Structure 1
Amino acid sequence: MAEYCDLNADLGESFGAWTMGDDAALLKVVSSCNIACGFHAGDPLTMQHTVATALASGVAVGAHPSLPDLVGFGRREMRVDAADLYALALYQISALDGFVRAAGGRLHHVKAHGALYGMLARESALARAFVDAVLAAGPDLQIYGPDQGALRRVCEDSSRHYVCEGFADRGYLANGQLVPRSQPGALLELDAARAQGLALASAQPIAAVDGTRILPEVQTLCVHGEGPHALALASQLRADLLAAGLGIRAP
């Protein structure tokens, strides 16, 4: 059993007059955060404010780049080639990094959002372009992603620091991938998410949507910041992890 686990949340997803999630409250609970960079959500003021609040809270700040899809919240796949993805990723990471530096902090990691997250697990050319963009943005940046797939292979082949991520509030398929959001079982209710999160962080098997027992490798545990029970889940998970003897800190 690991001695500690990172607890992360996707934040900074408000846009203009539209508010999503209680970021300030979540930043009192999590140990790292992934801040939207304007392509699926977020705007310059939201990015600036979320970065400042995260740094003041002692939370490690990560960039959360996406495909350019504000209307679909970055959850719709689109065809991009490696050159396009490199530029899209570097643009977004650099924008958030600018706010972090201006606030006197240091960018800690990068985690892809939504549809891009899944595409990077499947497509080696895109994974390579993404890793190259992260390297160009900062040689010490860590990359958060799934415990299996192309992105992890590319990171390991290039000796990049890769952090395996698990999801407390998402259902899993028997192959270890997430249940698509369009299918039953994709989103877990509070009690089920709490139990799954503790099991993942404790390196215990969980039940896939078909009942198969699986054991994903997890070093960071994600709670989606826009969910209706996000704050309650994150708070209860934090208490559960501490009660189980696990420390909570960014990798």
Structure 2
Amino acid sequence: MKIEGCVALVTGGNRGIGEGFVAELLEAGAAKVYVAARQLSDAEEAAKADPRLVAMQLDVTKPEEVARAAATATDLTLLVNNAGAFNNVTLLSAEDDRAMRQEIETNYLGPVAMIRAFAPIIEKNGGGAVVNVLSAGGIVAVPNMGGYSPSKFAMRAASDCLRAELAPMNITVHALIVGSVDTRMASHVTWQEKSSPRAIGKAGLTAVTHNIDEHDTDPHAVSVRAFLARDPHTLKTSMAASLGRGRK
């Protein structure tokens, strides 16, 4: 798929990695980019940057807003599932299951709902691509990440399932394994060098244009993948030993 001339939608497009994707899409020549955010005012502020940007209110955990987005963006050819939730609590330390449910609904159920809603639209427009922004916490279980890490494991598996289902519709699926990035979500990370949001966006578009099914987007993600292949037991042990780091 070519990025130039495409029509894209980026969930959580007003900040962080989503903002990086929007900038890279514009630089690569996208014809239109829907900038989706939970608050319309945030989307509208982000959309002021370029006339090709269209603000959209969208909470991926709300079926009625997903349906409204699909009814609006009928010209879509590229869907970037970037919106995510990370509550920085462990599975047992949380007061109840609300944090875990929000992470699962935002990071797994929401993106699947978006793909279900937009797959017929993308197919009707001649085919295209779906990008799922995942995490190194989706290939290695991170105890500090509570429901976040399991939700990313789930969406990684869903990406494989959906890739098979969408192939006959001429829609490719690209799972991005993302490490530490300089975003608000990773503000608690002080021990790891962070990549820029635009670097992740650029890597994501590379995955689309070169048809890479699963792409490690940054040095941290690459190092986690290498460590996992070389010595999975030690990596998992180190993850368990670091349980108290950054924990709430």
Give the TM-score normalised by the residue count of structure 1: 0.39
Higher helix share: 2
